[in-house]
Amino acid sequence: MIGVFDSGHGGLTTLAALQRDLSEQTFLYLGDHANAPYGSRTPGEITALTRAALQSLFDRGCTLVIIACNTAAAAALRDLQQGWLAREYPRHRALGVFVPVIEALSGRGWADDNPPDDGADQRIAIFATQATVASGAFPREMAYRARNVDIRQVACPGLVEALEAGQTGQARALARDFAGRLDGFVPDKVFLGCTHYPLVADAFAAGLAPGTPILSQPDCVAASLRDYLTRHPRHGDLPGDTSRETAYPTITYLTTGDPAQVRSAARALTGHDFDFRSL
């Protein structure tokens, strides 16, 4: 069983792609709605909340967790991997969602430690939370892999809050406004650096130059996870394997918030029903 964790509803966009491309797997989704959003929190708070979420999923039988929150992945994952996880859970894995995007943008594998390639003067715009932008994780990791890449980051305060509250009209207006804040910078590619943002991807597109390609993070993550499970099959369910007894259906949804409110907001955002239960 694979855990998928997000600060709130954003990870549902990643989970949908995982379910589509890895239908043989069992998923346990945890939304930390009681503490959302993470984007305005300190690195210490983000790390503590991420660790608590990982612990909850490990306790429920997950040996692999996808941190479907760019803020948590950017601000907390490296320290947790090198510290707490290495000490307490050496056989468990927590993987972040921005690694597959860096691989897609740079054309380089994460473990490739060769000198940076020529990025051919790419211009990339990244829209993300305040904490993700402040972490510098995306430009830092790109610099390790590609030269001559011009990255413009735009922090989007208030957008996650609007989405979490199910205020889709306000969220769409904010997304279009943020997309227009590039101040003459014309990107070759756009990356929505928060898993909530694909919920209003069309609003971002409306504020950009027509035809500007927006990278699909959920698709990148799904392809990367399939490759990972091919190399590390012990962390997933093999097709036709009935040896793993589980009390969970194919997907279970847990929340630290009020399940009724979370279900209502999720339906307002996605048009789908999710049977969220209390953690």
Using the structure block, give the residue that is written with the tokens 């307490």.
88
What is the C-alpha separation between 35 and 257, in angstroms, rounded? 8
Helices (DSSP H) in 185-278: which residue ranges? Answer: 201-206, 217-231, 259-270
DSSP designation for 244 = S
**Torsion angle in degrees (nearest 10) through CA of 67, 73, 78, 79:** -90
Which member of 62, 156, 194, 220 is catalytic?
194
Describe the strand order of the beta sheet including 146-155 as a list of residue ranges. Answer: 146-155, 117-128, 189-192, 214-215
Q: Which residues make Cβ contacts (< 8 Å) with residue 213, sequence separation at least 6?
A: 188, 189, 190
Sequence letter at residue 9: H
Helix (H, G, I), strand (E, B) or coil at 69: coil
- Token pair recorded at residue 30: 């945890």
- Token pair recorded at residue 109: 């594998």
Which member of 62, 69, 156, 220 is catalytic?
69
What is the C-alpha separation between 216 and 220, in angstroms, rounded? 6
CB 64 within 8 A of CB 233: no
What's the N-to-C CA distance of the chain in angstroms? Answer: 17
Using the structure block, give the residue that is written with the tokens 């101040």.
183
Sequence letter at residue 256: T
Using the structure block, give the residue that is written with the tokens 């259906």.
249
Active site residue 194: yes
Active site residue 69: yes
Give the catalytic positions in this structure. 69, 194
